[in-house]
Amino acid sequence: MRLGLAGERLMDVELAAAELTTNSVVHGGGRGTLAIWAEQEQLVIEVRDAGRLTDPLAGRRPPERGRVGGRGLLLVHYVSDLVRVHTSDDGTTVRFYLSL
């Protein structure tokens, strides 16, 4: 147990980080950078890659019925307290926050 995370909350962190890093490999140019830190009673997990999100509502609505994929970022929103996405010409950064 680290930073007070255990049980389901720890599994949420592991699952969300796995989803975002997988997205980096599949959609973000084949690689990305993962950073994890604590600030102001929150755990912050950040994934950066060279991909670009063009849908401003990505991860905020379910994918179309029958579509394979498209649920990873939705899952991150579901298990996190806050998700922030920033896309620029250099790529995309996704940060998710969990209260400790």
Tens digit of pLDDT for each residue in 64-78? 787 766 788 999 999
Q: Is residue 33 part of a domain?
A: yes
Tens digit of pLDDT for each residue in 1-48? 467 778 888 899 999 999 999 999 998 999 999 999 999 889 999 999
Give the burial class of 10: count Cβ atoms within 10 A of its Cβ; 0-12 exposed, 13-18 middle, 19 or more buried. Answer: middle
Q: Is residue 46 part of a domain?
A: yes
Give the C-alpha separation, 37 to 74, whole Å: 22
Q: Is residue 68 part of a domain?
A: yes
Q: Which domain holds residue 30?
A: 7-99
* Total count of domains within the chain: 1
Tokens representing 50? 């060279």
Q: Is residue 1 part of a domain?
A: no
Which DSSP state fits 6? -
Q: Is residue 2 part of a domain?
A: no
Q: What is the domain-level CATH number for residue 22?
A: 3.30.565.10
Cβ atoms of 73 and 94 within 8 Å: the answer is: yes
Smallest CA-to-CA distance from 55 within 19, 92, 90 is with: 92
Q: Is residue 81 part of a domain?
A: yes
Q: Is residue 41 part of a domain?
A: yes
Which pLDDT belongs to residue 1? Answer: 44
Q: Is residue 52 part of a domain?
A: yes
